[in-house]
């Protein structure tokens, strides 16, 4: 739950006052996050649990929830200053790559740790996390190659992070 607000803030960090951000987070947590978490992880009697929704490591509750909240906030706040005329590359590509690498390695503990045991479920979660992340990075690279004529390291890192997010809810049941 603690990472979810950080994911949302990444979408609009420089476009909102800090005091407004605190109010937004308090309201969002109460009105959106807590009910969704209960519906997915609430056990017997919870709405999505009864529908058969499986969210092994929080991909639905954390990532989809944060993505939708960030998207809605961006729609409300409007475009970034200078967009789309000013390029907005990362400030330090080396740190971007190091960060993506640390995320990739740390995500093994995140997904496998959700099994809460050192068993075949944790092992499978690690394996499918590796495969999904590598394939997403390669897919992004080839898509960028086709669309722009050459791949970029930033694109590969973006694909890897997208793969991590995509495999998270199914990491314990895929394979």
Q: How far apart are CA 24 and CA 20, in angstroms?
A: 6
Express each pLDDT in 103-128 by its tens digit. Answer: 999 999 888 888 778 888 888 999 99
Q: In the structure, what pLDDT confidence band is assigned to residue 175 with cuts at 50, 70 and 90? A: low
Measured CA to CA, the distance from residue 122 to residue 148 in angstroms comes to 38
Q: pLDDT value at position 106?
A: 93
Distance CA 137, CA 77 (A): 31
pTM across the whole model: 0.80
pLDDT for 1: 67
**Sign of the torsion angle spanned by Cα atoms 68, 73, 76, 79:** negative
Nearest of 170, 60, 63 to residue 124 by alpha carbon = 170
């Amino acid at each position: 739950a603690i990472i979810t607000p950080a994911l949302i803030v990444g979408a609009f960090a420089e476009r909102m006052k800090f005091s407004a951000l605190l109010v937004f987070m308090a309201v969002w947590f109460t009105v959106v996050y807590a009910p969704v978490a209960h519906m997915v992880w609430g056990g017997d009697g919870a709405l999505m649990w009864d529908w058969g929704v499986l969210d092994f490591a929080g991909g639905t509750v954390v990532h989809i929830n944060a993505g939708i909240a960030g998207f809605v906030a961006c729609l409300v706040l409007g475009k970034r200053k200078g967009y789309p005329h000013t390029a907005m590359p990362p400030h330090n590509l080396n740190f971007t790559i190091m960060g993506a690498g640390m995320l990739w390695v740390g995500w093994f503990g995140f997904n496998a740790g959700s099994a809460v045991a050192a068993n075949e479920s944790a092992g499978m979660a690690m394996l499918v996390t590796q495969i999904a992340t590598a394939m997403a990075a390669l897919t992004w690279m080839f898509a960028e190659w086709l669309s722009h004529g050459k791949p970029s390291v930033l694109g590969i890192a973006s694909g890897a992070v997208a793969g991590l997010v995509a495999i998270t809810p199914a990491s314990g049941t895929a394979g």
